[in-house]
Amino acid sequence: MKFTAELVHKCSRQLSSCCSNIINSQVRSCHTQAAPTIPPCSFTPPPYKGPSLDEMKEARKTRLTPALFTFYEEPLIIHTGHQQYLYDDDNKRYLDLFGGIVTVSVGHCHPKVVEKMQRQAGRLWHTSNIYLNPTIHDYSKALTDTLPGDLKVAYIVNSGSEANDLALLMARLHTQRFDVVTMRNSYHGASPYTMGLTGSGKSKFPLANGFGVTHTMNPDPYRGPWGGYRDSPVQSLRAGEATLEEGGTVCSSSRKYLQQFQETLDYCVPQGKPAAFFAESIQGVGATVQYPLGFIKMAFEMVRDRGGLCVSDEVQTGFGRTGEHFWGFEGHGVIPDIVTMAKGMGNGYPLAAVVTTPTIAQTMAKAFHFNTYGGNALGSAVGLAVLETMLEDNVQEVSRDVGTKFILGFGKLRDEFDSIGDVRGKGLMIGVEMVESQGCHTPMSLARFSAIWENCRIMGILLGKGGFHGNVFRIKPPMCINQADVTFALEVFRVALTTDRELHCKQQ
C-alpha cells in the first residue's frame, strides 16, 4: 500500500473521530464530578477582539505550513498571559503547566522583563556585532558567571537547534574528528544537521541525515532492560532490580549501560575515538527520562579518556529548572566542555547560546563565522533582564520546593491509580508516564490518554505531552507557580484519573 498524503490524512481523520467518541464520553462523565477551583488571581485580562476560531483555522489551513499542529480536540485561542496563567478568547483562565514548551521561565509578561524590553526597544534594536554595544557584553559576562570552571566564552544565537548545530561544528573542528555519539530517545533539534543528532525516528524526515552520528542505548530506569535508581524524589517501580554502590552515588545498572556505551564506541566509531558525546541532562522531548545514578559522569570520563569532548544540552534543564542546581549537568557531578542553552533563556524571546572554554572557542576564529541576529541589542537586553529576574525571584528555589511537592504528589497518585506507570523528574522538570496497567507497562492508548488530557483542560490546567509512544504528561510550568497551584493541579488529576478508571472498568 502506498502511503500518500491523502491516505495519511484520511486515516488521521478516522482516528480522530474514534478518539473523539471516547473523549466525549469521558468528558460527560467528568462533568458529574465536582471540578476543583483554580486558585484566585487579581489580574483582569483585556477582552478578546481578534479573529474567530473558524477564521484562524482557515488561515492555518491556507496560509501556514501544513506541518503545524494544535493541542486539544478543539484548538484553544490564547490571547493573554499573566505569570503562570493563560487566558483564552472567553477569558477563561488556565494554569499553564507546559510554559510554551518549557520556555516561559520567569512567568508570562513578567513586569521587569517587559519594562527592560520596552526601554531597550525605544533606544536601539539592532546594529549587529560589527559595532560595540554594551548589551551583549554585559549579558555575556552575567551569563558565563553562572557557569563553573573554564566555561567563559559565549556565542549568542537564536534557537536550541542552532546552538547544538554550532556545538557540533565546534567539536568536530577542535578535535579534528567527525564521529559523535548521542543517545536513543534524545532530542537535539530539527535542523538538517541536528536532526541527525536526535535519537528518535519520529523527528526525522526520510532524507540523508546523521552522517557520522551514532546513537547509543538509552539508559532508562523505567523502560530499559536493567531498571535502576535515579536522582529523583520518586523512584521507578523497577529501581529494586538494581543496587546502589559507592555510598549511593552509583547505580549498578549504570555499569551495564556503560558497557553498552563502550561497545558503541569500540564498534561504531573510527578507532573508538569520538569527536564528542552529546547528552541532555534530563531528556526533554523524550519525556523527562533520567539516567541511572553515575552514568553521565562515567560516560564523560570514558569519552575524555579517548580524547573526545563532552557536550551538555541544557536547552530544557538549564536556568534553575531542576531545582538543586542552576544547571542540570551539575546534578551529575560533571563540568562539560561545551554547554548549549535556549528556551527559558529568553522567557519566550528567541534567544540561545553556546558556552565553551577559551581554548575550544579559538577554533571558530580559523574562518569567517557570523550570526546576523545573535546577541543583538534587544535580545541581549531581554536575556539579561530574564537572568536577573531568575536570580531575584529565586526560581531555582521555587523549582526545588514546589517541584518536589509536585513530584511527591504524583507519586502518591501512582500508588492509587494503576494507570500511572512512572513518575520522574527533578524540580519543575516532571514526567508522568501513563500505561494500561502497572503490571504490563503497555503504553496507554491514544484515545484513553487524550481523554484524560482533555478533561484536565476543561478543569483548567494545560499540559504538555510527549515521549516516543505519546503517553507521557510533560509538566514544565513557568518557575513562578506556588503551592496552591500544585494542590489544584493534583486535585484536577485525581478527578480525571478517577473518571478514567471508572470508565475503563465498565469497558472491561
Measuring CA to CA, which residue among 307, 320, 310, 391 is closest to residue 357?
310
**Same domain for 254 and 209:** yes
CATH number (domain holding residue 435) = 3.90.1150.10
Kindly state whether residues 381 and 421 are assigned to the same domain: no
Q: Which pLDDT band, with edges at 50, 70 and 90, does 230 fall under?
A: very high
Q: Give the pLDDT score at 25.
A: 53
- pLDDT confidence tier of residue 4, bands split at 50, 70 and 90: very low
Judged against a pLDDT cut of 70, whether residue 372 lies above it is answered with yes
Pairing of strands 309-313, 472-475: unpaired
Residues 43 and 122 in one domain: no
Structural domain including 415 reads 25-96+395-507
What pLDDT score does 2 carry?
Answer: 39
pLDDT at 3: 35
Whether residue 4 lies inside any domain: the answer is no
Q: Is residue 3 included in any domain, yes or no?
A: no
What is the reported pLDDT for 24? 54
Lowest mean pLDDT among 82-86, 102-106, 189-193, 425-429: 189-193
Q: Are 185 and 124 in the same domain?
A: yes
Residue 69 pLDDT level (bands cut at 50, 70, 90): confident
Tracing cell 559565549 back to the chain, one arrives at 154
The residue ranking higher by pLDDT, 61 or 120, is: 120
Mean pLDDT of 74-103: 97
Q: Which of 392, 420, 445 is the last residue of a domain?
A: 392
Q: What does DSSP say about strands 429-434 and 420-426: parallel, antiparallel, or unpaired?
A: antiparallel
Residue-wise pLDDT for 248-300, tens only, equals: 999 999 999 999 999 999 999 999 999 999 999 999 999 999 999 999 999 99
Residue-level pLDDT at 6 = 43
What does the pLDDT look like over 88-98, one tens digit per residue? Answer: 999 999 999 99
Cell of 87: 487566558
DSSP letter assigned to residue 332? G
Number of structural domains the chain divides into: 2
Question: Do 323 and 448 reside in the same domain of the chain?
Answer: no
Quick one: pLDDT at residue 32?
54
Residue indicated by cell numbers 573510527: 270
For residues 505 and 471, the model is more confident at 471
The reported pLDDT for the residue numbered 29 is 52
Grid coordinates in use for 494? 485525581
Between 412 and 12, where is the model more confident? 412
How high is the pLDDT of residue 121?
97
* Residue 218 in domain: yes
If one counts every other C-beta atom within 10 angstroms of the C-beta of residue 109, the result is 15
Rounded to 10°, the helix 111-121/377-392 angle is 160
Residue 419 falls inside a structural domain:
yes
Is there a contact between 420 and 432 (Cβ–Cβ < 8 Å)?
A: yes
341 vs 20, which has greater pLDDT? 341
| Residue 11 placed within a domain | no
Stated pTM of the model? 0.93
Residue 34 is predicted with a pLDDT of 81
Q: Give the per-residue pLDDT at 17.
A: 47
pLDDT at 21: 54
- pLDDT confidence of 505, banded at 50, 70, 90? confident
Share of the chain above pLDDT 70, in %: 94
Q: Provide the pLDDT for residue 26.
A: 54
Q: What percent of the chain has pLDDT over 90?
A: 88
Number of neighbours of residue 372 by Cβ within 10 angstroms: 10
pLDDT bin (cut points 50, 70, 90) of residue 152 is: very high
pLDDT value at residue 66: 87
